[in-house]
Structure 1
Amino acid sequence: MLKIAWTPEYAHPLPPKHRFPMEKYELIPEQLIYEGTITEANLFTPTLLTEEQIIRTHNAAYWEKLKHLELSKQEERRTGFPLSAGLVKRERIINQGTIDCAKYALEYGISMNVAGGTHHAFTDRGEGFCLLNDIAIASHYLLDNQLASQVLVVDLDVHQGNGTAEIFQEEDRVFTFSMHGGHNYPMQKEKSDLDIPLQDGCEDHIYLKLLKDNLPKLINQIKPDFIFFQSGVDILSTDKLGRLGVSIEGCKQRDKYVFEEAKRNNIPLVAVMGGGYSEKISHIIEAHANTFRLAQDLFF
């Protein structure tokens, strides 16, 4: 069964100017249930991530500041959100959801988090709407519990997974692969194990060719036994922040290829949703919903 982490906490209320695109966290499961792709039985509610798991990945001093809402104004601005206890709680639930998804993926081959993909969170700071790095925290969980020995992070959000790259810069058991807008945020890039910067306006055929040229080589080279897939839909041509030229169909073909490669090689995979900032919320929901539809079709 396709197990999907979701809770109303994902749509934690924010002041109006910060509300978009939080609506997607409510609308994605509603759409999938309405069309019959999933039922309520596919959804599970994560609990609260423990502090022990947090400080396995993040600096203890940073966590103490975050927990007690003591970030400086500059640190808070860098995250993009007004800091609150509710926001920190939301982040802990999302991160626990990705750990839970990893365990379900080991059982079923794939699992998905309606949120997650908080790849701009560094060891000692948050950035870009990310406070805690769920991919890094879940990777550490798998490695520490001998549930995986080699993790591949396939980060296909339009923005480089800079926090993930920094966290794992000295960890050979996690290979970070990021295909992202070369001239997009963050302007100061970190060094992933493999970075593929894309030119503004990059369209489907170029995007998919680069992915297909590189992903099989990586799988053959590093032989991962687990994949985390950051499936942001901010690569769309309609995205306000993306600057690429990928169509909804191209985004769908991207997800299909990643899933097929994982299944063909018998590698458990967790997909986290990442970004999406198109003017029309319908474009965001359709592109994200395709990811879930494909998982259901290909694996179950």
Structure 2
Amino acid sequence: MHAYYADHFVLPLPSGHRFPMAKYGRLRERLARELPEVDLHEALPASDGELALVHAPAYIAAVADGSLSPAMQREIGFPWSPAMAERARRSVGATLQAARRVMGQGGGLAANLAGGTHHAYADKGGGFCVFNDFAVAARLMQAEHARRHRQPLRVAIVDLDVHQGNGTARLFAADPSVFTLSLHGAKNFPFRKEPSDLDVELPDGCGDDDYLHALDLALDELARRFEPGLVLYLAGADPHEGDRLGRLKLSFDGLEARDRRVMDWAWSRRLPLVFAMGGGYGHDLEATVQVQINTYRTALAFERRWLARPPALAAGTPSGTHWHNPAP
């Protein structure tokens, strides 16, 4: 299973900043040591053209040259620096590479060790999100798919970060080809939420049983209303009971069950799946990374299923069929 990283582009943050930048490098270290079946690759930067599928050119330019206003930098939560701009591009690029991987081989799973930057809008960032990687990936995969297929590619975004994906919801509000599902804390950030295609708001203190029941109902509703060809899964670690910003009470086991449900939902429909890590702000950094390691361990089990049953045959396509979506 391929996964893409950019943790060596480290933002120079002020002392005491609450964003846990170290979690990305720690995740890669543990994957390399504990799960060598995860094939790790350095992420390439997204191009201006790829970002412009979603983001306003003036905003892309402002991120690149450092002309973001102080107010825009405060909303993002990071001070501008060349490393901030480069990391933002590579965080998107990692998701693009993962999406090309699963679409190019006709199925399976691939991942971004960061990503899930769902608070970014077309013309601004927010909540530690500069560019919206899932939105760019959805648009790029649709464009590349259209070169070879008459039927348009429909994309389901399953956002299980504890915070609502407001930027993603706004970007696809009028687009029936992308379905946005968000399961999130009702009273948590962002305090002004955007309507997704399906929003499930959870009370503070929600635990495993109630969360998993709500997720089951949401996935059933998604299946009833939409038939995707690609699933983008935001596997946030911040619903964990040890998270500083989460306000929910999911255990390690509950989050593992969450991941299995989403991946099984995609597997049972033979849908390629890309996942990104989203938020995670544990009082103990190792607890956040453990949630993420568990997600990768679960994903590897489903990737083995794909390897056991070649995707083209599992999907009922003729033997020898090869889907390929090269970079433009």
Q: TM-score, with normalisation over the residues of structure 1? A: 0.95
In the alignment of these two chains, the number of paired residues is 297
Q: Is the 8 A contact 2:164 2:189 kept in 1?
A: yes
- 168, 176, 181: which one pairs with 1:177? 181
Are 1:215 and 2:215 an aligned pair?
no
Query: Unpaired segments of 5 or more residues in structure 1?
Result: none
Structure 2 Cα separation of the partners of residues 219 and 294 of structure 1 = 22
Structure 2 Cα separation of the partners of residues 109 and 16 of structure 1 = 41
Structure 1 Cα separation of the partners of residues 9 and 114 of structure 2 = 7
Structure 1 Cα separation of the partners of residues 199 and 188 of structure 2 = 13
Higher mean displacement: 44-53 or 13-22: 13-22
Structure 1 Cα separation of the partners of residues 10 and 18 of structure 2 = 9
Note the C-alpha offset of 1:87.
Answer: 0.5
Note the C-alpha offset of 1:280.
Answer: 0.5
The answer to which structure has the higher helix fraction is 1
The higher radius of gyration belongs to 2
Higher mean displacement: 160-169 or 8-17: 8-17
- Specify the alignment match of 2:307 in structure 1: none
Are 1:165 and 2:169 an aligned pair?
yes
Give 2:59's aligned amino acid.
Y
Q: Is the 8 A contact 1:216 1:261 kept in 2?
A: no
> Deviations 1:115-163 (Å, cap 9, x if unpaired)?
0000000011000000100000000001111266110000000000000
Are 1:49 and 2:43 an aligned pair?
no
Does the C-alpha gap of structure 1 residues 218 and 10 become closer, same or farther in structure 2, counting only changes over 3 Å?
farther
Note the C-alpha offset of 1:182.
Answer: 0.5
> Deviations 1:24-63 (Å, cap 9, x if unpaired)?
111112112222x125x70111212110111110111222
- Specify the alignment match of 2:94 in structure 1: 97
Structure 2 Cα separation of the partners of residues 272 and 22 of structure 1 = 15
Note the C-alpha offset of 1:216.
Answer: 2.9
- Specify the alignment match of 1:122 in structure 2: 121
- Specify the alignment match of 2:82 in structure 1: 85
- 178, 196, 202: which one pairs with 2:200? 196
- 262, 284, 289: which one pairs with 2:288? 284
Query: Unpaired segments of 5 or more residues in structure 2?
Result: 147-151, 305-328
Q: Is the 8 A contact 1:178 1:194 kept in 2?
A: yes
Give 1:47's aligned amino acid.
L
Please, what is the CA RMSD of the aligned residues?
Answer: 1.4
Q: TM-score, with normalisation over the residues of structure 2? A: 0.87
Note the C-alpha offset of 1:14.
Answer: 2.9
Higher mean displacement: 102-111 or 263-272: 102-111
Does the C-alpha gap of structure 1 residues 226 and 208 become closer, same or farther in structure 2, counting only changes over 3 Å?
same
Structure 1 Cα separation of the partners of residues 88 and 16 of structure 2 = 19
Q: Is the 8 A contact 2:56 2:123 kept in 1?
A: yes
- Specify the alignment match of 2:190 in structure 1: 186
Q: Is the 8 A contact 2:11 2:81 kept in 1?
A: no
Give 2:289's aligned amino acid.
I
Q: Is the 8 A contact 2:9 2:86 kept in 1?
A: no
Note the C-alpha offset of 1:11.
Answer: 3.9
Higher mean displacement: 287-296 or 24-33: 24-33
Structure 2 Cα separation of the partners of residues 19 and 184 of structure 1 = 17
Q: Is the 8 A contact 1:11 1:25 kept in 2?
A: no
